[in-house]
A = this chain, B = another copy of it.
Amino acid sequence: MRVFNFSAGPAVLPEPVLQKAAAEMLDWHGSGMSVMEMSHRGKEFISIAEKVEADLRALLAIPTHYKVLFLQGGAIADNALVPMNLLRGRSVADYVNTGEWSKKSIKEAGKYCAVNVAASSEDKKFTYVPAQDTWKLSSDAAYVHVCTNETIGGLEYQWTPDTGELPLVADMSSHILSRVIEVSKYGVIYAGAQKNAGSAGLTLVIVRDDLLDCALPITPSVFHWKEQSAAESMLNTPATYAIYIAGLVFEWLQAQGGIAAIERRNIAKAQLLYDYLDHTQFYANGVRKEDRSRMNVVFRLSDETLDEAFLKGAKERGMVQLKGHRAVGGMRASIYNAMPVEGVRALVEYMQDFEQRNG
């Protein structure tokens, strides 16, 4: 029996995606091969890769002057690869610090340039997104970096920063494809695929074409955006199976009605959980209401000694991976696109039941 999997990533996938992958495992579309066995330069895989890119472009309405790259290494690799590719002779980059993932990005960028922390919500334990009028941008920064959904802290930008001429770079790993975004506001968007775009090992990079060709000479070729763009992300063998799985997820998203439709569902799912959290003293979410993540709902039991019993009871009811990240403790329910509303309802019912028995 399938469980309700609240993992922050790798995370739950739509069951129809897994069923299709299983059915096609030994023979994709009569080719006599698994997708895993296909030469990345063969016509079968090229047809898959082209459709995956076209579907992603359609889902996110990516303008034609943006390139889409399918790379490897995840967002943590991009913490290094962004400055490598984007410094353009400048020596400083601006970063907004909204939590653990921002901190990782800042630390890694420090290997390549001076980092100006333009704004931070560390003063209040990362429970809010600093308003843009408080940001102190450098006059000579190469770019401004934000993490638009903090998976660990459960914080999400519900608005799009406007950095004018300065390229805006966003780590969207944990909420890409969960909501409508305006790509043209960004210089670069990057995201690990293992939350809303399939399986781990694939990184999506969306780059405005005037920012493609600025990489430092020390940039490894496979992470040089211009070289990879010229090679259609096939300068090295790409993560072919992960690309195929992403494609199945994109087809599933289209069948759900696209991003606007999935966003409405995500709002409703998050609302279910937050509404309950706001009407109980037994659990608490400390994030400012307008900055709460729709994808990662963090909460604490008022009595932490009950944490283990809570997790055990959840598991017995087929709900797993609710433990918060070790960096912050507490609980976390990641409710990505593929988490059905039934999973969220089951969680709220269990939380109510647990409260009645222990409150």
Residues of chain A whose beta carbon lies under 8 Å from any beta carbon of chain B: 1-3, 5, 7-13, 15, 18-19, 21-23, 25-27, 31-34, 36-40, 42, 72-77, 79-81, 108, 111-112, 192, 194, 198-202, 217-218, 220-223, 235-242, 245, 318, 320-321
Among A25, A81, A201, the one with the most B-chain Cβ atoms within 10 Å of its Cβ is: A201
Q: Contact: B32 with A10, CB < 8 Å?
A: no
Q: Contact: A31 with B3, CB < 8 Å?
A: yes
Kindly identify which residue among B22, B38, B74 contacts A22, using a CB–CB cutoff of 8 Å.
B22
Q: Contact: A36 with B10, CB < 8 Å?
A: yes
* Beyond A18-B25, A22-B23, 6 additional pairs, beta carbon < 8 A: A2-B33, A22-B25, A74-B237, A108-B221, A200-B240, A201-B238
Q: Contact: A12 with B37, CB < 8 Å?
A: yes
A327 CB to nearest chain B CB (Å): 12
Measured between beta carbons, the chain B residues less than 8 angstroms from A321 are 39, 42
Measured between beta carbons, the chain B residues less than 8 angstroms from A1 are 27, 32
Q: Is the interface of A mostly helix, strand, loop or mixed?
A: loop
Among A10, A32, A72, the one with the most B-chain Cβ atoms within 10 Å of its Cβ is: A10
Q: How many of these chains are in the complex?
A: 2
In the assembled complex, the Cα of A214 lies from the Cα of B34 at a distance in Å of 40
With A3-B31, A202-B201 in contact, do A77 and B81 touch (Cβ < 8 Å)? no
Question: Could you give 5 example pairs across A and B, Cβ below 8 Å?
Answer: A2-B26, A10-B39, A32-B320, A111-B218, A241-B242
Q: Contact: B9 with A36, CB < 8 Å?
A: no
Closest to A173 in B: B237
A115 CB to nearest chain B CB (Å): 15
Measured between beta carbons, the chain B residues less than 8 angstroms from A36 are 10, 13, 18, 198-200, 245
A325 CB to nearest chain B CB (Å): 9
In the assembled complex, the Cα of A229 lies from the Cα of B123 at a distance in Å of 34
Measured between beta carbons, the chain B residues less than 8 angstroms from A40 are 10, 200
In the assembled complex, the Cα of A36 lies from the Cα of B22 at a distance in Å of 12
Kindly identify which residue among B22, B31, B111 contacts A26, using a CB–CB cutoff of 8 Å.
B22
In the assembled complex, the Cα of A3 lies from the Cα of B9 at a distance in Å of 35
A316 CB to nearest chain B CB (Å): 12
In the assembled complex, the Cα of A236 lies from the Cα of B18 at a distance in Å of 24
Measured between beta carbons, the chain B residues less than 8 angstroms from A42 are 7, 320-321
Closest to A326 in B: B41
A3 CB to nearest chain B CB (Å): 3
Measured between beta carbons, the chain B residues less than 8 angstroms from A72 are 72-74, 77, 201, 239
Measured between beta carbons, the chain B residues less than 8 angstroms from A236 are 73-77
Q: Contact: B241 with A201, CB < 8 Å?
A: yes
Q: Contact: A10 with B25, CB < 8 Å?
A: no
With A36-B199, A200-B240 in contact, do A77 and B222 touch (Cβ < 8 Å)? yes
Q: Contact: B77 with A201, CB < 8 Å?
A: no
With A18-B25, A39-B321, A111-B218 in contact, do A237 and B2 touch (Cβ < 8 Å)? no
Measured between beta carbons, the chain B residues less than 8 angstroms from A32 are 1-3, 5, 318, 320
9 tightest A-B CB contacts, nearest first: A201-B239, A80-B220, A3-B32, A22-B25, A76-B236, A72-B72, A7-B39, A201-B201, A74-B236
